Structures are given as C-alpha cells and as structure tokens.
C-alpha cells in the first residue's frame, strides 16, 4: 500500500511568485505562495528583481511547505519544477534548486510545462473540485497568457488560439495604469466594474482571424479615449471610474466569450475549463455561468488558489508524470519559451 502513495514536492518560480507545494497523490497537503511586492513600485514585473527575490524566498518557502504538510524530505517520491515558459532568470532559480535537491535526496526529477499545469490544476482533488472529462476546452487567462487549448488527454493538448500580442491580464493591468490604479490593476478594475454601466463607453473589439486574440489595440484605444476626455475635463476619471471600468470589463468579456463560442462551434466540445489569475474576474465568471443555461455548456472554474500561479498545479502534473515514469535527468535546463505540445 505504502508504494501507492506518491509524495511530490513541487516548485514554481516562472514569474513573480515563489511557490512550493507538497502533494500526497492528487491531494494538496500544502501550497505556499510568496508574492513579490517589490514590483508594485514599478507598475509591472521587473525580471532582475524577480529572480533576486526568488533566491531569497525559495529556501523558506520550501521549508514552510514541508512543515505545513508535516512531511520529511526523506518521504518524498520526487521533485517537480516549472521548466518554462516564463522569465529566464526566475525559472533558473527554481530549476537549479529542484535539480540540486533531487540529486541530494537521490530521487527522481520531473520537469513541468507551466501552461499544462494551469490546465491540469483542474485534476487536483479537493472538496469543491470536480475534474472535467476529456475532451474539454481550456481557456487560460492570466498576466502572461491567453490561450484556448483542446485537451484530449493529460498530455494530449492542442493550442487552438492564443494572443498575438498582450495577454488579457496585461490588458487589464495596463488599462488600470492609464486610470491611475496601482499594479496589478485587474482586481481593481473588476471591483469598480461591478458598480458601473457596462455600456457607458463602447470600446472597439479587435478583428482577429480564427481563435487568436489581440489586446494591444484595446489598450491603445482606452489610452486615447482617456487622454481625449481628460483634456476636456481633468476630473473625468474620478467622476466616471465605475462606468469606465465596467465598459472595459464588458469589452474584454465579450472578446473572450466570442472566441469561446467559435471554439465550441469548431470542435463541438461543450465542456469549458478556465484557469489563470484572470479567471477570478466576476464578469468572466458570470458570462460562463450564463453560457451553461444559454448554450448548454458545462463550465469548470477551479478554486482561486489554483487559478493564480502556484506550485500545487505543478505538483499535480508531477503526480501524473511520476505515474507514467516520465522523469527528467540532471542535464535538463530552464526553457523561457516552451509550447504546450513540445
Ligand atoms: O495567473 P496570475 O496570478 O499570474 C500570471 O501568470 O500572470 O495572473 C495575474 C493576472 C494579473 O494581470 C491580474 O491583474 C489578473 O491576473 N487578475 C485579474 C483579477 N484577478 C487577478 N484580472 C481581472 N479581474 C480580476 N478579478
Ligand atoms: Zn501562469
């Protein structure tokens, strides 16, 4: 029986969150995330500062994850880590740490694709977590990613569409910056949006073929709109913040839903799973729930702690790879650009 219990220590360091988790089979025993505050001052992630903060955080975060899980290093079956995609300097910290620890403990090393992890996070076992059935469509939306993926098996994924420029979270954060809101502005835009009129200011939706996205044009049109209006009335933002945020949120939600509808039409798959930090957004959540009634979709939204960057999602991929004996060797290196199917 003991041999059927797999303990994975997982490490995530692809962007600005240092995270470590311990999983016992598909259950999360601990999931510690140290969010780097330093970037707030700069209005965005500064890569050099991120890798330095990862170096400072990684030992205490791993230690805390093991302590919270009440697991000794000697009980671990394997170490899983994010190999990519992400910021090279950040990835290197987690990769080097994972390699050294696996070597020191003489246990297998498992490399994980961060985007696959956002999707497989749905398979973590928890009280209110219900896994989707294959095949399903995954919409991964965060500060670094916007993708629609057809998921036919744990490691059988095809990207159907992705952003050609900014990620949807970036569109939120950059629009928020134009409005004078602090970084990351996405949650604040969401908060004000809930108090405003979504149709107050119509912003143009981009015309991008197929299932790809583009968000840089929207960001520019919001910037020009604000510049134009504040020239007429310097207090324009203050007076209309809720309506502006509601209009931005409405446009972004429409863009995402239009593409999802197209993807459903193209694939005849009606199970939709979302992930990534932007899946916390109330407008997107509401639109998806409405689509269950209107179009007969089944939608899956993981617990918020497994939506944003976290190591538990790396651990669940580690679990499946361990079961498949899919291990990495010590020659493995971080990979800043790392497509899902690669
Ligand atoms: O997945 P995540 O934690 O990190 C990345 O991989 O980027 O996502 C962070 C992004 C940020 O852009 C943040 O503004 C956005 O998710 N975000 C939101 C909301 N909560 C987080 N955007 C819109 N509405 C929200 N409620
Ligand atoms: Zn992510």
Both tokens of 264, joined, read: 């459903």
Between CA 79 and CA 97 the distance in angstroms is 10
**Rounded alpha-carbon distances, angstroms, from residue 313 to 101, 116, 196, 309, 336:** 20, 9, 35, 8, 18
Q: Are 250 and 202 in contact (CB under 8 A)?
A: no
Atom of ligand 1 nearest to the CA of 118: 1
- In this structure, the strands spanning 156-162 and 136-141 are unpaired
Is any ligand 1 atom within 6 A of the Cβ of residue 247?
Answer: no
Between CA 163 and CA 121 the distance in angstroms is 21
Nearest CA owner, ligand 1 atom 14: 186
Between CA 214 and CA 36 the distance in angstroms is 28
Which SS3 state, helix, strand or coil, does residue 318 take?
helix
Burial (CB count <10 Å: 0-12, 13-18, 19+), residue 288: buried
pLDDT, one tens digit for every residue, the chain (342 residues): 446 899 999 999 998 889 999 999 999 999 999 887 777 777 777 788 888 888 999 999 999 999 999 999 999 999 999 999 999 989 999 999 999 999 999 999 999 999 999 999 999 999 777 899 999 999 999 988 899 999 999 999 999 999 999 999 999 999 999 999 998 899 999 999 999 999 999 999 999 999 999 999 999 999 999 999 999 999 999 999 999 999 999 999 999 999 999 999 999 999 999 999 999 999 999 999 999 999 999 999 988 899 889 999 999 999 999 999 999 999 999 999 999 876
Task: Among 19, 143, 280, 314, name the best residue to mutate to test ligand 1's pocket (greatest count of ligand atoms within 8 A of Cβ).
Answer: 143
Q: Could you tell me the distance, in angstroms and rounded to a whole number, from the CA of residue 327 to the centre of ligand 1? A: 31
Between CA 222 and CA 26 the distance in angstroms is 43
pLDDT at 41: 76
- Cα dihedral sign for 130, 15, 30, 286? negative
pLDDT at 217: 93
Is any ligand 1 atom within 6 A of the Cβ of residue 175?
Answer: no
pLDDT at 3: 62
Length of the chain: 342
Atom of ligand 1 nearest to the CA of 276: 1
pLDDT at 44: 75
Both tokens of 244, joined, read: 């502006």
Q: Could you tell me the distance, in angstroms and rounded to a whole number, from the CA of residue 76 to the centre of ligand 2? A: 25
pLDDT at 36: 74
Nearest CA owner, ligand 1 atom 10: 143
Task: Among 256, 278, 309, name the best residue to mutate to test ligand 1's pocket (greatest count of ligand atoms within 8 A of Cβ).
Answer: 278
Atom of ligand 1 nearest to the CA of 167: 12
Q: Where are the beta strands (DSSP E) in 175-238?
A: none
Task: Among 117, 141, 172, 179, name the best residue to mutate to test ligand 1's pocket (greatest count of ligand atoms within 8 A of Cβ).
Answer: 172
Give the angle subtended at the CA of 192 by the CAs of 170 and 16, to the nearest 5°.
35
pLDDT at 2: 45
Q: Could you tell me the distance, in angstroms and rounded to a whole number, from the CA of residue 180 to the centre of ligand 2? A: 25
């Amino acid at each position: 029986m003991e041999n059927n219990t797999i303990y994975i220590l997982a490490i995530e360091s692809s962007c600005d969150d240092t995270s470590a988790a311990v999983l016992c089979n598909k259950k999360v025993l601990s999931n510690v995330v140290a969010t780097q505050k330093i970037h707030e001052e700069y209005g965005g992630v500064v890569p050099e500062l991120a890798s330095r903060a990862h170096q400072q955080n990684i030992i205490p975060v791993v230690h805390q994850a093991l302590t919270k899980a009440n697991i000794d290093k000697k009980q671990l079956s394997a170490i899983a880590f994010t190999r990519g995609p992400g910021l090279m300097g950040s990835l290197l910290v987690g990769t080097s740490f994972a390699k050294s620890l696996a070597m020191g403990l003489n246990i297998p090393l498992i490399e994980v694709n961060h985007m696959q992890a956002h999707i497989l996070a749905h398979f973590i076992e928890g009280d209110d977590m219900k896994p989707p059935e294959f095949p399903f469509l995954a919409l991964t939306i965060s500060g670094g990613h916007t993708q629609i993926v057809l998921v036919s098996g744990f490691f059988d994924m095809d990207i159907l569409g992705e952003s050609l420029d900014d990620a949807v979270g970036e569109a939120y954060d950059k629009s928020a910056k134009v409005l004078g809101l602090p970084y990351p502005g996405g949650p604040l835009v969401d908060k004000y949006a809930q108090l405003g009129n979504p149709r107050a200011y119509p912003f143009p939706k981009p015309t991008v073929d197929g299932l790809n996205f583009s968000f840089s044009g929207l960001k520019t049109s919001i910037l020009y709109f604000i510049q134009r209006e504040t020239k007429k009335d310097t207090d324009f933002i203050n007076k209309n913040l809720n309506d502006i945020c509601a209009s931005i949120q409405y446009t972004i939600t429409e863009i995402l839903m239009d593409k999802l509808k197209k993807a459903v039409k193209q694939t005849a798959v009606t199970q939709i799973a979302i992930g990534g930090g932007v899946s916390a957004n109330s407008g997107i959540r509401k639109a998806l729930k409405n689509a269950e009634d209107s179009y007969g979709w089944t939608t899956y939204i993981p617990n918020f702690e497994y939506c944003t960057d976290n190591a538990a999602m790396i651990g669940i991929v580690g679990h499946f790879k361990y079961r498949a004996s899919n291990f990495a060797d010590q020659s493995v290196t971080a990979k800043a650009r790392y497509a899902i199917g690669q």
